[in-house]
A and B are shown apart, each in its own frame.
Chain A
Amino acid sequence: MIKLENIHRNFQVGDQAVHALDNINITINNGEYVSVMGPSGSGKSTLLNLLGLLDSPSSGNYFLNGNNVTELDENQQAVTRNQNIGFVFQVFHLIPRLTAAENIELPLVLAGISESIRKERVHNALDSMKLLDRAHHKPQELSGGQRQRVAIARATITEPSILLADEPTGNLDQKSGLNVIETLEQLNKKGITLIVVTHDAALGARSTRSIGMIDGRIESDIGASNVTGA
């Protein structure tokens, strides 16, 4: 469960303070499917980075599964990220010199998991993403949709509870975009908390809960939180 309390995030741009996040209070339950929408500069990416522990709030508290993760040190945050959070990026961020299998394996390598376990889990991930025949291809030998499926496999290989996707279909054509979204939704159906940041209204409409942001503030929160009973 994610709980944000009075989160502020200020940036200093020149001599001007920018409030990227302005007093954010939200609760997201396990297994929710949330889309975060809003214009550029509304703070949605900052929110996502903060949820993913890539960024720290200027003030406020972030509770992840009951723990106040804002109090963790850098190393503990890295471990938390590795175990609880998966990222899917618009530009995939695959390492070009590594094969699909090696890219997927990376979070397990960073976690120091032994090779035999890694091989099995990577095989299963490739299998569920229908990428087994692409295991030893480098990213540049894969289509956009395949690359994003590799990225999703990588994001979910440590079986995190939260999957954060930043414009996951932004660099894909419609067909492969739809395929990727369906893949993400299937993962959500299996219980993962899916949070998607997007411009795309059609994509946002697929989620069960939609958070609208403007100028660092939550303007609308339509959907499931009352149903799931936070």
Chain B
Amino acid sequence: MLLARDAIRFSWQALSANTTRTFLMLLAMSIGVGSVVILTALGEGARNYVTAEFSSLGTNLVIVIPGKSETSGDNPMGLIGITERDLTIDDALALKRHPKINRIAPLNIGVAEVAWQSRKREVSIMGTNHEFQKIRQWKMAQGKFLPKTDMSRGTSVCVLGADLRNEIFGAHSALGQWIRIGDRRFRVIGILDKEGQSMGMDVGDSVFIPVASAQSLFNVPALFRIFVEVKTREAIPKVISFIKSTIQERHQGAEDITVITQDAILATFDRILSALTYSIGGIAAISLFVAGILIMNVMLVTVSQRTSEIGLLKSLGASSKAVLNLILIEAILLSSLGALIGLILGQLGCWGIRSAFPDLPAYPPAWATLASILIALITGVLFSLLPAKKAAQLDPVVALSNR
């Protein structure tokens, strides 16, 4: 029988003798594998990006939102029957009793004009407390965050986002200056470090003031959110039920809040983005399949072009099986070489994406890399079976008379 090493060399010579054909097949295969690698890396990168964004929210975070997101459906009065109560600072204070709660930060959001000398800007104003910075794990560029005071007491101090500071003060020193927000004056006590966009809030373009000051500034007693940081991950379910029962009690028995955990949001996003990665991986795998069909076609052409060679091999004592193996080895060589080039292309592509978008961790997942190589090899072999069979069944007499 034909030795494996000789068979591979023979097939290799056949491949390298026809460079155009080999190049085209390698191109098809490598584009298939490369696109699987790049597309899954993009999907995985997006997933990791979102995950990282969520963990930047802070650890063991529970967010209390006013209003019930699920309708109970058993209320014949419908929407009219429920008087939704606002979340108040007192609600937030009531939550402080629980021993497993580490920090609590209320949040109030409004838009107001910020002015210093002749410069004015319309920006988001966030009313909160000193804990907010720690919950969100923000760093200060200058000065301090809001001071630790009674939540219901408003003071005239503010903290600026980095972008806003640059736009309003430019080269001037901002710390200690008095700025006007709406119709009130606030003293700048701190500048946040560059944080960028975080969960839909443009931190760089915001002003932070004590929550009570925000309430009087916008004349709104209701809170937009209450951020609760739980001491341990395990305590989260207990804290959630504590929050629900406490607020329900305070709201005359109405369950009119929604409590979301970072984990729950994260899990949802994770599921969605994983599904996305799988589906784009699947789409890319189709291109591998197409590459397989191309290989089949080219191999079929090859077999008919090399009819006399195959007839000759038979006359020299090659069995049908040996001919079949030679064609299959050619296909395996092609597809594995194509897969290898595709992997290199894919990794280069991922590297390019990471260089262009440093925030996006575009690394292909191991399963995708492995699957693309496997699919490449399997399609390569599968689609070469037909041409190889055709070659093996060639009648040597007919094959040889094909001049």
A87 lies within 8 A of chain B by Cβ: yes
Instruction: Kindly supply a per-residue 1/0 record for chain B positions 358-402, scoring 1 wherever the CB is within 8 Å of any chain A CB and 0 otherwise.
Output: 000000000000000000000000000000000000001100100
Tell me if B319 and A75 are in contact (CB < 8 A).
yes
Q: Which residues of B contact A154 (CB under 8 A)?
A: 316
A18 lies within 8 A of chain B by Cβ: no
Shortest distance from the beta carbon of B321 to any chain A beta carbon, whole Å: 7
Tell me if A75 and B321 are in contact (CB < 8 A).
yes
Query: Complex Cα distance A207/B130, Å?
Result: 113
A79 lies within 8 A of chain B by Cβ: yes
Centre residue among B13, B308, B315, B319 by max chain A CB count within 10 A: B315
Shortest distance from the beta carbon of B339 to any chain A beta carbon, whole Å: 25
Q: Which residues of A contact B396 (CB under 8 A)?
A: 49, 54
Tell me if A81 and B316 are in contact (CB < 8 A).
yes
What residues make up the interface of B, taking CB atoms closer than 8 Å to A?
Answer: 1-3, 6, 10, 13-14, 16-17, 308-309, 311-322, 396-397, 400, 403
Tell me if A81 and B17 are in contact (CB < 8 A).
no
Q: List 13 A-B contacts (CB under 8 A).
A: A52-B315, A54-B396, A55-B397, A75-B321, A81-B314, A82-B316, A87-B316, A95-B309, A109-B3, A110-B316, A110-B322, A112-B2, A158-B317
A2 lies within 8 A of chain B by Cβ: no
Query: Complex Cα distance A115/B6, Å?
Result: 9
**A93-B320 CB under 8 A given contacts A54-B314, A109-B10, A112-B1:** no
Instruction: Kindly supply a per-residue 1/0 record for chain A positions 46-84, scoring 1 wherever the CB is within 8 Å of any chain B CB and 0 otherwise.
Output: 000100101100000000000000000011001101110
Residue of B nearest to A155 (CB): B316
The contact size tier of chain A is: 20 to 34
Q: Which residues of B contact A87 (CB under 8 A)?
A: 315-316
Query: Complex Cα distance A112/B322, Å?
Result: 11
Shortest distance from the beta carbon of B181 to any chain A beta carbon, whole Å: 82
List residues 78-130 of chain A with CB under 8 A from any CB of chain B.
Answer: 78-79, 81-83, 87, 89, 91, 93, 95-98, 102, 106-107, 109-112, 114-115
Q: Which residues of A contact B1 (CB under 8 A)?
A: 112
Tell me if A97 and B14 are in contact (CB < 8 A).
yes
Shortest distance from the beta carbon of B280 to any chain A beta carbon, whole Å: 41
Q: Which residues of B contact A115 (CB under 8 A)?
A: 6
Query: Complex Cα distance A114/B1, Å?
Result: 11
Q: Which residues of B contact A89 (CB under 8 A)?
A: 400
**A107-B400 CB under 8 A given contacts A75-B321, A78-B322, A112-B1:** no
Query: Complex Cα distance A102/B6, Å?
Result: 11
Tell me if B397 and A49 are in contact (CB < 8 A).
yes
Tell me if A93 and B10 are in contact (CB < 8 A).
no
Considering the complex of A and B, which 7 residue pairs feature the smallest CB-CB distances, nearest first? A82-B317, A97-B17, A78-B319, A75-B319, A54-B396, A107-B316, A81-B317
Residue of B nearest to A81 (CB): B317
